[in-house]
């Protein structure tokens, strides 16, 4: 079948047959031995030669007539209303300003009055015309944010019109679609030394310069093990000083240990404060003060730390070995999903992990945000380190997108299947 109709946007005749699609003008249909021929008057060539009149249909698939005379007359009626018999040059009327979001797909159609032929020049990588319709552009999903320019031409037998188009690709709005699922003996590792200036200290707490905050979303399972969430510091088996945050499966609570195996503080949230199979937001803060030495000051040491769950400061239970820890902490080990005693998360999801080099307790309302995950880089106090936990990441690397943006976590004993679509 031969499909023929007038495209109003192009002001040209659309012809589709076994040889493909054309947009042309200056046509004439004729009866050739009781069959229909179509001649291109401008080029003096036949577009269609002696085809049965029953082969000609319109854009809806309907025949143009029941005999050769009706078909020829109907075709010539639309041929005479197209093109530019008055000698007009083409004029491009479609917009010259295009915009799209990074990762999306462009869909643009060039429109021109009196246009017959169309050309593009300097198209950005990944943008192409649609087969059979050179006026239409698609693609561009791989383009980085920025501004791109290219040109379009509309041509007819009387002249040409050229348009410079500007395409602006913008950064997409924040979206949280991924988290990391941890199963037994799966964890994330990174260069701990990169966080020395954020989480480390050189002595028994010198004040706000030693302060920090650690924030994350967690969805625990029903497993009753003591499971490591985050570890920074030395090697536990060598009595290294550590920051060790865990999920206590027997009581559905959050737990932090600060110091060494023999000199440490330990704080734990109330039972059932972290229910299984439910997303909860957690933030642990340290104000940078002293954390040990005097038995009479043990409550002051405990109060250096705050533990927030879903925006609420928890009434924690404190314990200690030798009245806390007075020494330095420096980075030899940095991991998520495994404790200093190699206790790993069991069917637990972690999302949106943030670390500040300040005590963010006063900003918990903004950071928790009523339980709605948001872009923490929009905060006045931006996190120094931030891991989206799957969003924008490519296995096995989880990129740091905080202000430091220099510490990449590497997925250990995992596959790309550990990046899942389960989010708060």
* Token pair recorded at residue 257: 């240990």
b/e string for 150-178 if b means 16 or more Cβ within 10 A? bebbbbbbeeebebebebebeeeeeebeb
Q: What is the pLDDT of residue 19?
A: 65
Answer yes or no: is pLDDT of 114 > 70: yes
pLDDT at 22: 64
Most confident of 24-33, 137-146, 334-343: 137-146
pLDDT of 152 over the 90 cut: yes
Q: What's the whole-number mean pLDDT along residues 355-359?
A: 98
Smallest Cα–Cα separation from 186: which of 20, 72, 322, 347?
347
Mean of the per-residue pLDDT values of the chain? 91
Phi, psi of 378 (to 5 degrees): -90, -5
The total number of residues shown for the chain amounts to: 424
User: d(Cα 92, Cα 95) in Å, to the nearest integer?
Assistant: 9
pLDDT at residue 316, as a whole number = 97
Q: Out of 227-241, 270-284, 364-378, pick the least confident.
A: 227-241
pLDDT for 179 equals 97
pLDDT digits (tens, 9 = 90+) for 20-48: 656 666 678 888 888 999 887 767 788 89
pLDDT band at residue 210 under the 50/70/90 scheme: very high
Query: How confident is residue 375, by pLDDT bands cut at 50, 70 and 90?
Result: very high
pLDDT at 11: 61
- DSSP H helices, 272-397, are 298-302, 364-368
Name beta bridge partners: 92. Answer: 112
- Model confidence band, residue 379 (pLDDT cutoffs 50, 70, 90): very high
Beta bridge partners of 2: 56
C-alpha 107: how far from its chain's center?
20
Q: What integer pLDDT is reported at residue 306 of this predicted model?
A: 98
Sheet containing 409-412: order of strands: 317-321, 264-268, 253-259, 242-248, 226-233, 333-336, 187-189, 409-412, 397-398
Does the pLDDT value for residue 157 go beyond 90?
no
């Amino acid at each position: 079948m031969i499909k023929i109709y007038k495209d109003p946007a192009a002001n040209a005749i659309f012809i589709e047959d076994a040889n493909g699609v054309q947009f042309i003008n200056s046509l004439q249909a004729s009866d050739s031995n009781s069959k229909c021929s179509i001649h291109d008057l401008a080029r003096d060539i036949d577009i269609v030669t002696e085809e049965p009149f029953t082969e000609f249909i319109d854009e809806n698939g309907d025949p143009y007539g029941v005999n050769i005379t009706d078909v020829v007359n109907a075709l010539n009626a639309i041929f005479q209303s197209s093109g530019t018999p008055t000698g007009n040059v083409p004029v491009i009327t479609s917009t010259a300003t295009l915009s799209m979001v990074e990762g999306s797909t462009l869909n643009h159609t060039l429109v021109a009055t009196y246009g017959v032929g169309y050309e593009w020049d300097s198209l950005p990588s990944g943008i192409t015309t649609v087969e059979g319709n050179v006026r239409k552009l698609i693609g561009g999903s791989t383009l980085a944010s920025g501004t791109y320019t290219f040109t379009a031409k509309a041509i007819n037998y009387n002249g040409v019109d050229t348009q410079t188009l500007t395409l602006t690709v913008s950064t997409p709005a924040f979206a949280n679609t991924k988290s990391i699922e941890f199963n037994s003996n799966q964890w994330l590792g990174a260069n701990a030394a990169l966080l020395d200036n954020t989480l480390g200290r050189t002595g028994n707490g010198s004040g706000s310069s030693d302060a920090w905050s650690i924030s994350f979303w967690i969805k625990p399972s029903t497993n009753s093990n003591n499971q490591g969430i985050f570890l920074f510091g030395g090697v536990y088996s060598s009595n290294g000083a550590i920051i060790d945050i865990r999920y206590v499966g027997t009581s559905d609570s959050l737990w932090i240990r600060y110091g060494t195996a023999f000199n440490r503080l330990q704080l734990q949230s109330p039972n059932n404060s972290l229910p299984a199979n439910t997303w909860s937001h957690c933030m642990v803060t340290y104000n940078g003060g002293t954390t040990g030495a005097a038995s009479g000051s043990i409550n002051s040491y405990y109060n250096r730390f705050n533990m927030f769950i879903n925006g609420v400061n928890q009434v924690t239970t404190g314990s200690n070995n030798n009245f806390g820890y007075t020494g330095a902490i420096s980075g030899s080990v940095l991991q998520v999903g495994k404790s200093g005693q190699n206790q790993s998360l069991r069917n637990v999801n972690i999302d949106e992990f943030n670390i500040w080099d300040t005590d963010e307790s006063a900003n918990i309302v903004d950071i928790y945000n009523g339980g709605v995950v948001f872009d923490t880089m929009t905060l006045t106090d931006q996190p120094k380190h931030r891991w989206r936990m799957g969003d924008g990441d490519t296995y096995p690397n989880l990129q740091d997108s905080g202000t430091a943006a220099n510490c990449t976590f590497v997925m250990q004993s995992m596959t790309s299947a550990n990046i899942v679509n389960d989010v708060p």
